[in-house]
Amino acid sequence: MTKVAVIGAGLIGRSWAIVFARAGFSVNLWDPFPRQTAAAMTFIAERLPELRHASLLADEPDVVLARITPLPSMWEAVKDVVHVQENGPEQVSAKQALFAELDRAAKPDVVLASSTSGIPASVFTETLKHRERCLVAHPVNPPYLVPLVELCPAPWTDAGVVERTRDLMHRAGQVPATVKKEMDGFALNRLQGALLAEAFRLLADDVISPADLDALVKHGLGLRWSFMGPLETIDLNAPGGLKDYCERYGPLYAKLQEQAVPLKWDAALVNRLHEARREELPLNMAPVRQEWRDRRLMALLAHKAGQPDRS
């Protein structure tokens, strides 16, 4: 049985524990705060029956839960594992300290992967003795419901480590996408950032209401994007495929890019949008809406799993 360590038992760490245990892996779970680990195990125990009900869990919940072992020390957690998934604080100094400790504790051939959403691996692994086994494996929250994971190596990451991680993620039921070189935001957040930049610009210019802007995506673009990427989308939207589409609409998109002036998200704009969201959803109801989101994701994932989709 493949054994992995999940370091950090917060929202992302506990989700990774579900991903790996659901796939049949043995999971060592550790967090510097024992209460966090206990809370993670409670969360996992509550989620597993929901996943089983949604046909997203092949085994009985108690069987999957038994594959996760909370441990009292990080050194014990990384012993005899093949992969470490780190989920510590999103701070450079914290990553540097944690990876220095992991590099000393884990055997030299163990892959050390970080779940960071924006810090390049080179920033916190440069001085490590075994830095060639380190990379970023950035998930989408929550990873047990959204399978995409970005693999972002540092300049010195061994190519074999990237391939080993791709294979492990495939076996864990995830969909790995390799970013070939480091850049701010990796690739996923750059795509999301481009959409948010234009969305905030439209709202700042009072072109559309916040509610109607969300509708553009969830009832328009998002329906296609839930099963097709942007390249496949435009390839199917012109009789002659992608080249035909670019010839037809390339000038329009070039004009839109020329008009795109960087916009600072100032306090007035952010406060206006925050107030609009609070009218739609009072902050104390956010946990309820998050549960609704996760149930919808379960239903969508179950639907996609049952479709004859090559990707």
Residue pair 133/108 in contact by the 8 Å Cβ criterion: yes
Residue pair 137/172 in contact by the 8 Å Cβ criterion: no
- Per-residue pLDDT of 263-287, as tens digits, reads 888 899 889 889 999 998 899 999 9
- Write down the pLDDT at residue 136: 98
**Cβ-based burial of 247 (10 A; exposed 0-12, middle 13-18, buried ≥19):** exposed
Average pLDDT of span 85-99? 96
Least confident range of 7-11, 98-102, 122-126, 223-227:
223-227
- Write down the pLDDT at residue 304: 85
Neighbours of 264 (CB within 10 A): 8
Answer whether residue 22 shows pLDDT above 60: yes
- Write down the pLDDT at residue 38: 97
Answer whether residue 305 shows pLDDT above 70: yes
Instruction: Please provide the average confidence, as pLDDT, over all residues in the chain.
Output: 94
Average pLDDT of span 213-226? 94
Domains in the chain, CATH or no CATH each: 3-178 (3.40.50.720), 188-280 (1.10.1040.10)
Q: What is the pTM of this model?
A: 0.91
Answer whether residue 311 shows pLDDT above 60: no
96 token code pair: 């540097």
Average pLDDT of span 115-133? 96
